[in-house]
Amino acid sequence: MTDTKLNCLIVDDEEVAREVMASYISKVPYLELKASCENAIDAHEIMTQEEIDLVFLDIEMPGLSGIDFLKTVAHKPHVIICSANKDYAVEGFDLDVEDFILKPVTFERFLKAVGKIRSEEKPIELNEDYFYVNQNKRMVRIDMSNIIYIESLRDYVRIVTTQKKVITHQHLSDFESKLPSDRFMRIHRSIIVAIDKIQSFTSSLIDVGEKELPVGRNYKEDVQNKLNRLI
C-alpha cells in the first residue's frame, strides 16, 4: 500500500458540516485536507489549482448543486456525497460516486467510506517491462517499451502509448519516482517522455512523431544535458 496521502476537498454550504468533516479528516493519517469551501463554484476553481484526490460533496447548495457540479468535472476524483436527503443517492451513483453518506455523518461511517477508497488506491508496481494502472475500475496493462509520453491532468495522468491512450487516477510524481531514469525523463512539470521515442528536439520542443512537447523552463538545462549525451 502506498504511503501517499489522499488530498481532500470539502464542499458544503453548512459551516458546522464542514467543521465536522475537517475534524474527521484530521484523525485519519492517510488523508490531508487541502481546501474547504461553501459552494460548488469555489470548488471548481480550487480543483483547477490543486491536485484533489477525494471530494466530500454536499448536494443542496446555492448557485450550483453538487449534482450539477459533478456533471461539469471532466476527470472526477473520488467523490463521497454527504447529504441529508437520501433521494440523491441513486442520481449520485449514476454519476459514479464512490459512496453516499446520509447526514449527520458519524465517524464510523466516514471511516468505512474512506477505507474503501484507500483499498482501491494501488501504488504503481513495476515489473521488468510492464505495469498495471486502474482505468474506470479496470486494471490495464502498460508495456513500458510502448510508452511515448505521460501527461499530467492534475488529479489524473494520460499515458500515451503506441497502441492506446489510458487515463488513470495518479500523480505524475508517482511515475517519475518509479520509471527507470535511463529510459524516461521529465521535460516539463506536467510531462514525462520516453527517451527512445524522441524523433527530434530543440531547446524548447521535443518531437515524438505525432506531437511536439514543450520543454519547461525549469527543466531545459537538465533535458539538454541528457539529450546531448545521446548525440
Using the Cα atoms of residue 159, residue 129, residue 180 and residue 122 in order, give the sign of their dihedral.
positive
pTM: 0.60
Q: What domain range is 216 assigned to? A: 130-228
Q: Is the model's pLDDT at 52 over the cut of 60?
A: yes
| CATH number of the domain encompassing residue 50 | 3.40.50.2300
Asked if 88 and 143 sit in the same domain, the reply is no
pLDDT, tens digit, 9 for 90 and up, residues 105-140: 999 999 999 988 876 666 667 777 899 988 877 889
pLDDT value, residue 123:
61
184 located within any domain: yes
pLDDT value, residue 104:
95
pLDDT value, residue 2:
43
Cell (9 digits) for 113: 467510506
pLDDT, tens digit, 9 for 90 and up, residues 170-212: 888 888 888 998 999 999 989 999 999 999 999 899 999 889 9
Asked if 148 and 206 sit in the same domain, the reply is yes
Radius of gyration over alpha carbons of the chain, in Å? 20
Asked if 205 and 136 sit in the same domain, the reply is yes
Asked if 27 and 112 sit in the same domain, the reply is yes
Asked if 12 and 81 sit in the same domain, the reply is yes
**Distance between CA 200 and CA 216 in Å, rounded?**
16
148 located within any domain: yes
Asked if 102 and 10 sit in the same domain, the reply is yes
Q: Buried b / exposed e across 14-23, counting CB within 10 Å, b at 16+? A: eeebbebbee
Asked if 215 and 147 sit in the same domain, the reply is yes
1 located within any domain: no
Asked if 11 and 115 sit in the same domain, the reply is yes
Cell (9 digits) for 1: 500500500
Asked if 170 and 135 sit in the same domain, the reply is yes
Bridge partners of 160, per DSSP, are 149, 165
Pairing of strands 200-201, 205-207: antiparallel
| Whole-number percent of the chain with pLDDT over 90 | 59
Number of structural domains the chain divides into: 2
- Is the CB of residue 176 less than 8 Å from the CB of residue 169? no
Asked if 103 and 154 sit in the same domain, the reply is no
